[in-house]
Structure 1
Amino acid sequence: MKLYQKFALAATLAIGAVAGSDVAFAQASTEATADVKYILSSLLFLIGGFLVMFMAAGFAMLEAGLVRSKNVSMQCLKNIALYSVAGLMFWVVGYNLMYDGVVAGSGWMGTPTPKVIPATDADAGSYAAGSDWFFQMVFCAATASIVSGTIAERIKFWPFIIFTAILTGIIYPIQGSWEWGAGWLDGIGFSDFAGSTLVHSTGGWAALMGAIILGARAGKYGENGRINPIPGSSIPLATLGTFILWFGWFGFNGGSQLAMGTISDVSSVSRIFVNTNLAAAAGVVVAIVLTQIVYKKMDVTMALNGALAGLVAITAEPLTPSPIMAIMIGGIGGVIVVFAVPMLDKLKIDDVVGAIPVHLLAGIWGTMAVPLTNSDATFYAQAVGVIAVGLFVSASSAAVWMILKTTIGIRVSPEEELEGLDKGEVGVEAYPEFARGGSAI
């Protein structure tokens, strides 16, 4: 018997077997439905979670490329440290505070207890408890990454880590509970699908307060309003970081569907992927075109931040927009970057990587744009959410920064800043051969 005949015979027998056991097959499918949904939804959390975890590498490479070579080791150290601190703090107190405390649930903080992740999840619901915790934890870590880039090149390591612990263990979970923990913002109809406000603007507000209280880098601003550009060490590294962030964002937004057990869920995830990609692409193109028109030359850093601003903007509602609306929302994110970066310089707010326009301002825009495509949202509820989160995060972050400043100090000495934090704080240079003009041996 020839090979194609064998395949035909096997297919015929298979069809006959299925046709002859319709009842048994239907019963088996019904019995497996809950397990299948449980497995697929848990898998979505896990895959989305490790994609968002990879964004930590994106933030590290973006920041390493946009700071000067004498501060690259410090940025790499800060990024791996903040991810680790966020992971511990969110387990110790953050998760339970976000979902079982504050306004959202059973009273105020009480006695913080670590998140319990059972060995088996037979009665846990529609997904594994560990998969949910991991997915929520990497969102928390992303919030701290936003702060790291803004205040680079002049912040001491340990005050930054202390602030990160408070941000990820207390500040982020409290405001997150207002919406994702079924708190009062959720009650008034506020909608933030994957965190334009709850993650990105939260990090942006914390970064803004840090930049104001810390002050600008030495030499950044001169007399008579003069602004001195301080180029980064590596555009290729910054570009790599942006592509990694773009890649990880599919987990950020797609995973926020929070279920993959039905055809509808999978269709929604695929639509989210399309809109996320279109918004980022629009942010890039708009930033390139605008810099060419306004400055007569294209700016690659504006293009990179245009992509990120488009991603942040679509994050508040990546499911309901049509492709055209996704392009519009992301494109306006690119506009925000081009005009907000010089605005901050005029205000003498030194944001090394442009995180405040990207995460704070584009996050606000994306949150306020939700009612344009989602009829369940209202501009009133969205505005209340933006203002409430902004006030709480700004006030609490400013208080923590000021306490740190008046106690242990937050800024390195002028000598250390001039020499570079790699030597003064870390003791390991990122590019020793380059820095010394020859071999390190």
Structure 2
Amino acid sequence: MIVDYIRIGNAADDSLSTRRLKSMSVVILTVIMCMASAFFLEPERSIVYRALDVTVVVTILIGLYLLHRSRDVETVFYFFAPAFLTVQLIFMLLNGNREGDVLPFLVTPAAAVVVLGPKRSRPWFGLCFLVMLLLPIFDGALPEIDLPINQTSANPSGSLFQSPLKQPMETGEGLAMTLGVFFVYFLIFSGYRQLEAARELILVQKAQIEHEYQRSERLLENILPAPIAERLKQEPDKIIADDLLQVTILFADIVDFTPRATLMRAPELVSFLNRVFTHFDDLADRHQLEKIKTIGDAYMIAGGMPEPRPDHAAAVADMALEMLAVTKQISDEMGETLAVRIGIHTGPAVAGVIGTRKFFYDVWGDTVNTASRLESYGSPGRIQVSKETYEILSGHYTFEERGIIDIKGKGEVQAYYLTGATTRAPQ
């Protein structure tokens, strides 16, 4: 119950420091209210002083209510601080510097730094500084006023400003308190500015770390497929190896690249390859296929991995057809012939990550070898597919039967040329 009371101003989205500030405010206000209540119960307390005690208690209760309703400690400060300082100033004019009446003028500017920040705390410092500086002068000019309601055994005449118990603030004491206001505020102000500078530095460093983290994430995702990268982050020491029941592999090779490369300077050669492969990368992204690697002028992609998908063969076929269109477009722009050979095969494979410093996601198996051979034994500007791929796409794509070809390491293989699409292949 006490904990719930202390947390009456807390909001769900408050930071830890804000929660602490609000809880501390509740505790301080409660302590002041208890002190005012204790003063009210003193037997020799006059009606005037008790009225001021009640004012303090009512002001605090309203402040606590505002904190509970608004959840904003600044609202409470702007309400409570002027009212409380006014009451304390009246106490000091009536009673002098007794019972720590001067303390609120020392503490309020420091509290303003914490609640409002250094910049907005300056008016509060100026106010309290002037009060402490001018109070001795103003106190000496107060008139003699006697009120019956202010009579007590210690003040039989009911003197309002010249009570026998009053301890007027002398000029030297006022100067000392003025300096006290200055030094307390200066220490808190300087400390808080340093704290803010440290927080800003932490935020900058945090932003830099976040930027570097995002950069590392992008680099990792450029190297590895997103699902594989996530698995690697979750279990960095675990070997990643997957048996894939059916994938479609595509190999593409630029025809007559070696003679072309001998005629190009290094920057021209790299620029040429980058231009072609960037177009291929865009196609792979559009068809949600996985680029595996480039080897020289060879380009390899896979469908149905790392996450299985039912239309992997159709997606690879669509990309292959668009690769031919892209190379024709580049040829027209360059004013010279550019052609690619493409080979496609569908079947089981094994995929995984190799390396401990430079990670590399690759795929192995007879399916990969067959697709590579189909590309090598293909024709410029044509897409050669295996019988397995043909049977999956048949009826939804157009083909030209090439017949039986003798492939090194594979023997005789039935091959087809993919020539176009009729309707989208079934899912």
TM-score bucket (shorter structure): under 0.3
Give the TM-score, by structure 1 length: 0.24
Give the TM-score, by structure 2 length: 0.25
Larger Rg: 2
Query: Relative contact order (alpha carbons < 8 A, sep ≥ 6): 1 or 2 greater?
Result: 1
Write 1 or 2 for the structure with the bigger share of strand. 2
